[in-house]
Copies of this chain bind each other. A is one copy, B any other.
Amino acid sequence: MRGVRLKLTPVSGEPGFEPLVVLELASDIKEEAVVWLLSRIRDPQQNGGAELLVEHLGPGVRPQEKENPNLFLVGASWQRLLSGAEDLGLFKEYSDGSMRGFTCSNKHNFKDFTGDGDSFLSMAECQHIIKHELDTLRAREETHVPGYPQAKLYPGKSIIRRLQSKRILIQMFPLHHKEELKRLSFSWYQKVRLSLQPLDSIRHYYGEGQALYFGFLEYFTFALVPMALIGVPYYLFDWEDYDKYVIFAVFNLVWCTVILELWKRRSASLAYQWGTLSRKQAFEEPRPGFHGVLGFNPVTGREEPLYSNAKRQLRIYLVSLPFVLLCLYLSLYVMMVYFLLEGWVLSIHDENPTFWTGVLLFIPSVAYAVVIEAMNLIYRYAAEFLTEWENHRLESSYQNHLVLKVLVYNFFNCFASLFYIAFVMQDMVLLRQSLATLLITSQILNQFMEAFLPYWLQRRRNKKMVRKVQGRRVLEDKALPLAEQVRLEADMSTYLGTFDDYLELFLLFGYVSLFSCVYPLAAVLVVLNNITEVYSDAFKMCHVFKRPFADPAANIGVWQLAFEAMSVIAVVTNCALIGMSPQVRAYFPHSETQLILWTVAVEHGLLALKFILTFLIPDVPKHIQIKLARIEFESLEALKKKVCLFVLG
């Protein structure tokens, strides 16, 4: 927040109420359910409530029939937010510059804590605290939501999650802060500049998960610059006669190992600075869709649905895994059909070239692209359905399984044809052509689908809303009154997380690390893509989507693993490409066996070296290791002192 707060006319008479989070309830919700929910939210903590402030949002300027009247604004007192921060184990900067878990009793020793503390917790943190408090609002006895006998509640069960799964609560989202958003978007992408992204401000406004994504995007772009710089002369000065790519492949190979190791360090630095590195996660609650027979959780002792792990494993290995393998086989089959068609069309064109056969030449590629896109879409739905059906207890485990499924399939779809061209057809000219086509088209399509289309839709809705309001009075600065602002944001699309963004980066990383030695311009294209990606992603975060809740991530999670797996594949691929190059073949004129054995030996050596490097480069920079060790040491010492006092006293 850096000293600014929402300056809004309070919706109710209570002074100082700052709306942070919006709850949208079903428009046909029963009265008693609303009364019950609001009282649970307002009740003091010793009565099992959340002790938050909540107000009903009044009707808009010109209320319509369709408008949902059941929008509620949630806020909290300053004291409540602080105790919530302690509850969450939020790490803040201490007076000595280290990051420590915030405690109310120790609050004055934290940097930036100034009595009223307006700038101590960022708005994103406040919203995260409120979300946490709402999520952990639990039923006290076995009952049901008043007015909804089918919405059963068990002691210790999260109320909000049950309301969400029964569609009584339609959505819960944090409010944007127009002023801060304007400043952020200006420093982020509106001014033309050569500076880095304002990662701290992004983290401040969107939380650590988002900031880490943009940090990774930026890091990845910079890491590609050397590749791009080497690639350009290769391309321009005729180095690109496909025979001399050995040096490039070797460079590639070292590059993709080193940048991933260094990213781990950079990520640890960022996470330390943002206080998420050593934060302890609270015990994770089951995800809303999780179901099972009611029993006692062996860890918490609370009553909650239980689902046997063995059953889940059976579903994964006997249904999901065969399904994924089948899809991969299908994808391979479609690819083979494509290559057959391609060959067939080419032979027709070569036999008797006319205008129509020239057009025909494009048809297999176009058909293949369309089929691939359709298969991708269907597979994505199937993967989501299957992962839901696997009935994972934790959101994180659900996400990991979904990411893995989608990742493997996308990898296959994108790269199978390239591998086929490179290693079965051994046609480097075609490989280069396909790579260029894939990179350029996917880049253009993505940017369009991701940002401009949703923006255009949003803009239309926005204009309608402004026009509606302007019907009654002239607005100063085009600022909408709160009621309209909230309704407008409620209508915005929901940001579904960084999944698709990471997936895109993953595929780009694949193109560069696997095949850029054949097409050295790939790195240049990816750098250009990433630069526009920063702008379009920033733009869509600020203007197209609802504000997402902050996600206190300490690293990029399963994606680190995915990128590392890709870099291992890159080592193998590059070695094979080197082994196939005429240059290297020239060293073994008489024996192909010798050539292959040497290539394999070198590849094994490089893989071993890669693993040794992974071990040798510490994941956390030394100075942060020392800071973490110091905090650990101090807490042990404090414990010891307590013991001494006990023994002596």
Contact = CB atoms under 8 A, between A and B. Distances in A.
Contacts of A282: 636
Interface of A: 45-46, 79, 83, 86-87, 103-105, 280, 282-283, 298-300, 309, 572, 592-593, 596-597, 600, 604, 622, 626, 629-630, 632-633, 636, 640, 643-644, 646-648
Contact of A46 (B87, B298, B648): B648
Contacts of A647: 45, 79, 83, 104
Contact of A283 (B87, B104, B633, B644): B633
A629 B283 contact: yes
A632 to B, nearest CB: 8
Contacts of A280: 636
How many copies of the shown chain assemble into the complex? 2
A604 B283 contact: no
A141 to B, nearest CB: 20
A104 B647 CA distance: 8
- Residue among A299, A597, A633 with most chain B CB within 10 A: A299
B630 A298 contact: yes
A299 B629 CA distance: 6
Given A298-B626, A309-B622, A596-B593, A643 B283 contact: no
Contact of A596 (B104, B309, B600, B632): B600
A348 B216 CA distance: 69
Contacts of A630: 298-300
Contact of A300 (B87, B572, B593, B633): B633
A562 to B, nearest CB: 13
A406 to B, nearest CB: 17
A45 B641 CA distance: 11
A542 B103 CA distance: 53
A561 to B, nearest CB: 9
Contact of A643 (B46, B79, B104, B626): B104
A646 B105 contact: yes
A300 B637 CA distance: 10
A640 B604 CA distance: 52
Contacts of A86: 643
Contacts of A103: 643
Contacts of A309: 622
A644 B596 contact: no
Contacts of A79: 647
A87 B643 contact: yes
A644 B79 CA distance: 12
A626 B301 CA distance: 11
Given A299-B626, A309-B622, A104 B572 contact: no
A632 B299 CA distance: 9
